[in-house]
Amino acid sequence: MLASHLAPHRLALSFLLTLLAGFALTGPAPAQETTIPVAGCQQSQVHVFIIHGLDPFDYANLRGLRDHCHKQGYMQTTYAQFYHGPWIIDRVRQIKANDPGAKVLVFGFSAGTLTARSVVNTLHSKHGIDVDVVVYTSGITMLDREYNHPSFVGKVIHIRDRSLLTGGVEFSRGENYKYRDAWHFGTPTHENTLAVLDRELNRLAADTPIVLPPGVPHMAAKTDGAATVSKSTSWDVVKPADMLMPPPRFITK
């Protein structure tokens, strides 16, 4: 990978620039997805928030991760920075107010895992909203504590890189992965991470109630399995037939 050959001073510069941006807190709000949710489309009711860490040049390719979600049909995916936590909280509140059945997945990378953790805990404690899935990748400060994997989150997924010193620890609650072939910046777009993310997005979409457009009636399902037999009348000749009679056979000599 290209990122594996980066000079150390460039990585240090990357950390420094993003840290200064975080302290300043002057960055604009992330670009909000403008796609209008399609009634009856469950994928449009799944909202994903990808939170970056100390990586202003995007060596971890989280923009590519957002594009991957779009290609899978999940257009309600937002790419944000680690200092956008308050904005994400407000956005989730708006989503739940407009669509209580909407699903929310929060994905954090590196320093973004701290923001992801703060977002899910604040939504629960202050606004009574529980996130469906939180994914941590390369969270070097993630310890095995309730605050990092709270029970009110539907599922917690913890993905660690190959580092032995800064790779984080395994959670006692949640789904844990320890990569042997990915360094710090390689976990978000690792093939297993993409597979896990796709699995969770598809699961959330399948669990989302279908919302039909106004005026479209719901089809009532038959529960007894018995076919309804109507009585024959003289008007049966004008009713549409389930099948047509075969044409007559003409025999020619």
- Please write the tens of the pLDDT for every residue from 5-57: 444 444 444 454 444 444 434 455 665 554 444 444 789 999 999 999 999 99
Residue 161 CB coordination number (10 Å): 24
Q: In the predicted model, what is the mean pLDDT of residues 114-134?
A: 98
Q: Residue 168's pLDDT is what?
A: 81
Q: In the predicted model, what is the mean pLDDT of residues 181-207?
A: 96
Q: Residue 4's pLDDT is what?
A: 43
Residue 69 to residue 105: CA distance in whole angstroms? 12
Q: In the predicted model, what is the mean pLDDT of residues 169-183?
A: 95
Mean of the per-residue pLDDT values of the chain: 81
Is the pLDDT at 144 greater than 80? The verdict is yes
Q: Residue 212's pLDDT is what?
A: 62
More confident position, 28 or 4: 28
pLDDT band at 188 (very low <50, low <70, confident <90, very high): very high
**pLDDT tens digits, residue range 61-82?**
999 999 999 999 999 999 999 9
Q: Residue 21's pLDDT is what?
A: 42
Residue percentage of the chain with pLDDT more than 70: 66
pTM of the predicted structure, to 2 decimals:
0.73
Q: Residue 246's pLDDT is what?
A: 64
More confident position, 224 or 30: 30
Q: In the predicted model, what is the mean pLDDT of residues 194-202?
A: 97
More confident position, 239 or 174: 174
Is the pLDDT at 219 greater than 50? The verdict is yes
More confident position, 141 or 10: 141
Superfamily of domain 51-207: Alpha/Beta hydrolase fold, catalytic domain (3.40.50.1820)
